[in-house]
Chain A
Amino acid sequence: MPRAHSHTAAELLTILSARQLSDGQVVFAGVGIPLLAATLAQRLRCPGLTILFEGGVIGAFIEPGKLPPSTNDQRCTKRANMVLGSAEVLLLLQRGYVDVGFMGGAQIDQYGNLNSSFIGDPEKPKTRLPGTGGGNDIASLAQMIVAMKHEKRRFVEQVDFITSPGFLHGGDSRRASGLLAGGMFRVVTDLAVFGFEPTRGRMQVISLNPGVTREQLQDNTGFVLEFSAHPGVTEPPTDHELKMLRELDPERLYTA
């Protein structure tokens, strides 16, 4: 097995989340690690992966070393199949053409709800964050992969504010609110990979990343962890994956 040499947490996160995508899928990717991971998957294993951006792009094919600073920049359109309006690309999501939504998050809870709007009481916020962008739309309408750094303050029992819905309060609450499609599928962090228990909609550990113990994972999580029946150990990044990733982001714009 190829030995993983030193890499940053962001590199690990990008590589592990890229592995969650399959060839032939249509993926709606947010800026940052999701954009980079989808591009990496396209280069490594999934040449038929179609990437959508909310700026209005279908079939993006990002050039190595020319990562866009947002999903609304002209760099996102280079070699794409189609350029269209932002509302149009979001409506494709609502119509159901998107297999996977892929985004990051500032704060997540046990039901996969994401907060990117407020830290603290929204009426008197400690911090006003930038907000949803297309995040709420993607999480409301597609199967979701979330990639984020694993820290106790980011993995909380209940988010301060539901910006992008996961399974809301668990059980049937998502469907009952009118969200009839989509839902959380995977959460990938630098410590572990999570899925969701189907009836309660609660986050579960599927595999621990190399060298991470259950205790260490629990210490870095703000709610009591559940483990799937046979949690595995994530395969470490290969030299090939790291090499390709560093070609894509040589300036470490997203992977510092």
Chain B
Amino acid sequence: MTAAKISTTASTSARPVPSYLELREQLSRRDRSLRDKVVSLEEAASFVHDGDSVGIGGSTMSRTPMGMIWALIRAGRKGLTCSRSIVSSDGDLLLASGACDHIVTSWFSQGILWGVSKVMRHHVESGKAKFDEWSHMAMGMRFRAGAMGVPFLPIRSMLGSDVRKQRPEAVEIDCPFTGEKILLVPALNPDVALIHVQRCDAYGNAQIDGLQFMDIDLAIAANKVILTTERIVSNDQIRRAPDQTKIPFFAVDAVVELPFGCAPHECYGINEPMIRHMEHYVSLVNKEPVKGMAQYLERYVHEPKSWNEFLALIGMDELLEAARAGKSIYDA
């Protein structure tokens, strides 16, 4: 049998994987008791600190915690490192507002319908922001390792590619059992996870309908979890269908009730993407990534007095159409 041959330890320039005791220590400091965690959107923003590593739930234009991201930008957060399975216009907003200067993901643009994001290009090509690229499965296994309390997981992709060459944090070894080459991807335990769900109780027992993406691993891996939810329901209602509960309350630190909290992105069974607003957004920012983005942030993020006022700017017609299309997933 071939002995495990660690060709190199991960580059020291990369964000280190915390030691197991450090990870346990961070968790033991949290108040994990069964308690009411409901806060306002503004209060929830204070759970995130400048420079934090932030894991974002959902994928592309689906179940994106847009309301929470919107609130972090309004609160003036700086220097965040944001990780997500696939990043859409949420990444544009985070970079252009100055809230984030480092994105860790497998794919970053607004969506395939609109080509390449000029906002992403502007920030990454000029060196204003970093975009670390991992394969989609690698992102999943990084969150999973974080959720499992182990420092890495082995994967069979990325090998041989330039995606792998750009990531010295990943370590190639000869498998101690088979002798085959395999890639170890480091655990990702974000300081805080932002996740939007269809319903949860005041304690944070969260039910997710439809596509769950990487959100369960992300929630368990993170050192703090902020949930935004379409509805807060009673604990009795959660207990009627415990098989639908995907995130346990003890992993959750804050709960915000935020209807249409993914707008203009979609939330399974609630609303499809608000495509007209997205098209308005994309035409504005892909024409002029700096000026257009500044205009968008001013009008849609900073000026509205509340999330509801932002929804009003999207418009009743579009909101209702998106909601109608969202519910149609349950049609026969």
* Chain A interface residues (CB < 8 Å from chain B): 31-32, 54-57, 69-70, 72-78, 83-87, 90-91, 93-94, 117, 122, 125-137, 140-141, 161-165, 168, 173-174, 177-180, 253
Chain B residues near A87 (CB, 8 Å)? 137, 140-141, 143-144, 214, 217
Interfacial chain A residues near B107, Cβ < 8 Å: 130-133
Inter-chain CA distance A125–B268, complex, in Å, is 37
Tell me whether B136 and A134 are in contact (CB under 8 A): yes
Indicate whether B181 reaches chain A with its CB closer than 8 angstroms.
Answer: yes
Contact B158 A78 (CB under 8 A): no
- Once the chains are docked, how many angstroms separate the CA of A94 from the CA of B275? 34
Counting residue pairs across A and B whose Cβ atoms lie within 8 Å, the total is 187
The reply to whether the CB of B272 lies closer than 8 angstroms to some CB of chain A is: yes
Given contacts A73-B272, A77-B211, 4 further A-B contacts (CB under 8 A): A70-B60, A77-B329, A133-B107, A162-B160
Given contacts A56-B211, A74-B62, A94 and B156 within 8 Å (CB-CB): yes
**Can you list 25 A-B contacts with CB-CB less than 8 angstroms, sorted by A residue number?**
A55-B62, A55-B211, A69-B113, A70-B62, A70-B112, A72-B58, A74-B210, A74-B266, A74-B268, A85-B214, A86-B85, A86-B213, A87-B143, A87-B144, A90-B140, A94-B156, A134-B136, A136-B135, A137-B136, A140-B158, A163-B162, A164-B161, A165-B159, A165-B160, A178-B172
Interface residues of B (CB under 8 A from A): 58-62, 85-86, 105-109, 111-113, 116-117, 120-121, 124-125, 131, 133-138, 140-141, 143-144, 155-163, 166, 172, 180-183, 210-214, 216-217, 266, 268-269, 272-273, 275, 326, 329
Complex-state Cα separation, A75 to B271, whole angstroms: 11
Determine the distance from Cα of A94 to Cα of B137 in the docked complex, in whole angstroms: 9
**Chain A residue with minimal CB distance to B183?**
A178
Given that A141-B157, A178-B156 are contacting pairs, would A122 and B162 also be in contact in the complex, using a CB cutoff of 8 Å? yes
Chain A residues near B121: list those with CB within 8 A.
127-128
- Does the CB pair B162–A132 fall under 8 Å? no
The minimal Cβ–Cβ distance linking A166 to chain B, given in whole angstroms, is 10
B210–A83 contact, CB under 8 A?
A: yes
Residue pair A56, B157 in contact (C-beta under 8 Å) = no
> Which residue of B111, B112, B158, B183 has the most chain A CB atoms within 10 A of its CB atom?
B112
Q: What residues on A are CB-neighbors of B180 within 8 Å?
A: 178, 180
**B156–A141 contact, CB under 8 A?**
yes
Contacts of A177 in B (CB 8 A): 159-160, 181
Nearest CB in chain A: distance from B55 CB, A: 14
When the two chains form their complex, are residues A127 and B125 in contact, meaning their CB atoms are under 8 A apart? yes
Contact between B156 and A127 (Cβ–Cβ < 8 Å)?
no
Q: Which residues of B contact A84 (CB under 8 A)?
A: 212
Determine the distance from Cα of A180 to Cα of B156 in the docked complex, in whole angstroms.
Answer: 9
**CB-contact partner of A162 in B106, B162, B214, under 8 A:** B162
* Interchain CB contact under 8 A, A56 and B136: no
> A54: which B residues are within 8 A, CB to CB?
136
Assess the B140–A86 pair: CB atoms within 8 A: yes
Taken together as a complex, chains A and B put the C-alpha atoms of A168 and B159 apart, in Å, by 11
Of A32, A69, A178, the contact of B275 (CB 8 Å cutoff): A69
Q: Which of B62, B135, B183 has the most CB of A within 10 A?
A: B135
Distance in angstroms between the alpha carbons of A131 and B85 in the assembled complex: 12
Q: Which residue of A131, A141, A253 is within 8 Å of B106 (Cβ)?
A: A131
On whether A85 and B135 interact (CB within 8 A), knowing A55-B62, A73-B61, the answer reads no
Cβ distance A10 to chain B, nearest Cβ, rounded Å: 13
B111 adjacent to A165 (CB under 8 Å): no
Q: Which residue of the partner chain A has the closest CB to B105?
A: A131
Cβ B160 vs Cβ A174 within 8 A: yes
How many Å lie between the Cα of A111 and that of B159 in the bound state? 16
For residue A253, give the distance in angstroms from its CB to the closest CB of chain B: 7
Q: Which residue of B lies closest to A129 (CB)?
A: B116
Q: Check B86–A72 contact: CB distance below 8 A.
A: yes
CB contacts (< 8 Å) of A161 on chain B: these are: 162
B residues in contact with A174, CB < 8 Å: 160
In the complex, how many angstroms separate the beta carbon of B213 from the nearest chain A beta carbon?
5
Q: Looking across the interface, which residue of chain A has its beta carbon closest to that of B175?
A: A178
Report whether A70 and B61 are in contact in the complex, using a CB–CB cutoff of 8 Å: yes
Contact partner of A73 (CB less than 8 A), chosen from B62, B85, B117, B159, is B62
Query: What residues of chain A lie closer than 8 Å to B137, measured between beta carbons?
Result: 87, 90-91, 93-94, 134, 137
